[in-house]
């Protein structure tokens, strides 16, 4: 069930041009444990094991990158900039975004944990520098599932936001987005620049092609130390400990309805 709708017949500049007259899209890319991997808690119970574990682009961010590229391919933007905040190894994920088609990448490097407010503040700094018309983020990262960065960023930046989007149409400095909300779908219109957080059904990311991986190696990737970016971001949340979910006890089979009822009564659920 993927929504492929994107109509950008309108070529050239569609939003407010940023610095230098070019339309830029800034896309957030977080390095997370791959969604196929069974996550394990470390022995000390302080976090999860990442050593030797497959890491990937947060799947929602991959969708955000894809959407940014589709907007650019349709003439709606001039440049797609992929941004990550995290360890040096996050360059791998940025290289993947570059291989998908992003034009350049910025890594704000830190080995410390990055919480949503800190991420939003860093992104705001980059926005001030790059002046993008659209900021595309995943609706949440699959590691902490916080679902906060996009909203915080919009507030700090004081710009409109469209969250959980499953369709997007950008024309004439405005964006129409379809949001996945509890009651169904909500269509909204926001003026640009704005922050978008994408949901699963927005698109199906492309496969990376081998020649593009080679090209990506030569695309610019700028690294900035977090300390040099000048933000205050004391951790707002303290991790007290991690533990695996309790083990499920084996079920039992009953041979009649009566037995089932009495078993349920024994458990106190009836």
Residues near other proteins (CB under 8 A) are 2, 4, 34, 36-38, 40, 43, 51-54, 204-211, 213-214
Judged by beta carbon, residue 176 or residue 206, the one nearer other proteins is 206
Please state the closest distance from residue 43 (CB atom) to other proteins, in A. Answer: 7
Judged by beta carbon, residue 91 or residue 149, the one nearer other proteins is 91
Judged by beta carbon, residue 71 or residue 119, the one nearer other proteins is 71
Contact criterion met (CB below 8 Å) for 51 and 130: no
Residue 188 per-residue DSSP state? E
Contact criterion met (CB below 8 Å) for 169 and 7: yes
Contact criterion met (CB below 8 Å) for 67 and 264: no
Please state the closest distance from residue 4 (CB atom) to other proteins, in A. Answer: 7
Judged by beta carbon, residue 2 or residue 7, the one nearer other proteins is 2
Please state the closest distance from residue 106 (CB atom) to other proteins, in A. Answer: 22
Angle between helices 116-130 and 149-157 (to 10 degrees): 50
Cα torsion angle, 140, 145, 151, 153, sign: negative
Which helix (H) or strand (E) is 120 found in, with range?
helix 116-130
Q: CA 2, CA 206: separation in Å to the nearest integer?
A: 13
Judged by beta carbon, residue 209 or residue 265, the one nearer other proteins is 209
Please state the closest distance from residue 154 (CB atom) to other proteins, in A. Answer: 30
Please state the closest distance from residue 131 (CB atom) to other proteins, in A. Answer: 32
Helix (H, G, I), strand (E, B) or coil at 214: helix
């Amino acid at each position: 069930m993927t929504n492929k709708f994107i109509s950008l017949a309108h070529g050239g500049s569609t939003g407010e041009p940023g610095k230098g007259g070019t339309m830029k899209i800034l896309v957030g890319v977080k390095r997370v444990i791959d969604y196929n991997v069974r996550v394990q808690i470390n022995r000390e119970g302080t976090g999860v094991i990442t050593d030797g574990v497959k890491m990937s682009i947060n799947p929602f961010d991959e969708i955000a990158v894809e959407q940014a590229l589709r907007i650019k391919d349709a003439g709606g933007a001039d440049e797609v900039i992929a941004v990550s905040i995290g360890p040096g190894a996050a360059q791998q994920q940025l290289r993947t975004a570059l291989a998908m088609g992003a034009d350049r990448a910025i890594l704000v490097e830190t080995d410390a944990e990055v919480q949503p407010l800190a991420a939003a503040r860093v992104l705001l700094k980059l926005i001030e520098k790059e002046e993008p018309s659209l900021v595309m983020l995943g609706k949440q990262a699959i590691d902490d599932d916080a679902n906060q960065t996009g909203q915080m960023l919009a507030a700090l930046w004081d710009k409109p936001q469209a969250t959980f989007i499953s369709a997007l149409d950008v024309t004439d400095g405005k964006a129409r987005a379809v949001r996945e909300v509890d009651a169904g779908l909500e269509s909204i219109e926001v003026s640009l620049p704005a922050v978008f957080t994408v949901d699963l059904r927005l698109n199906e990311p492309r496969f990376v092609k081998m020649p593009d991986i080679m090209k990506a190696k030569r695309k610019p990737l700028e690294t900035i130390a977090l300390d040099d970016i000048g933000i205050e971001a004391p951790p707002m949340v303290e991790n007290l400990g991690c533990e695996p979910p309790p083990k499920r006890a084996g079920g039992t089979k009953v041979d009649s309805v009566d037995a089932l009822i009495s078993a349920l009564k024994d458990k106190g659920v009836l």
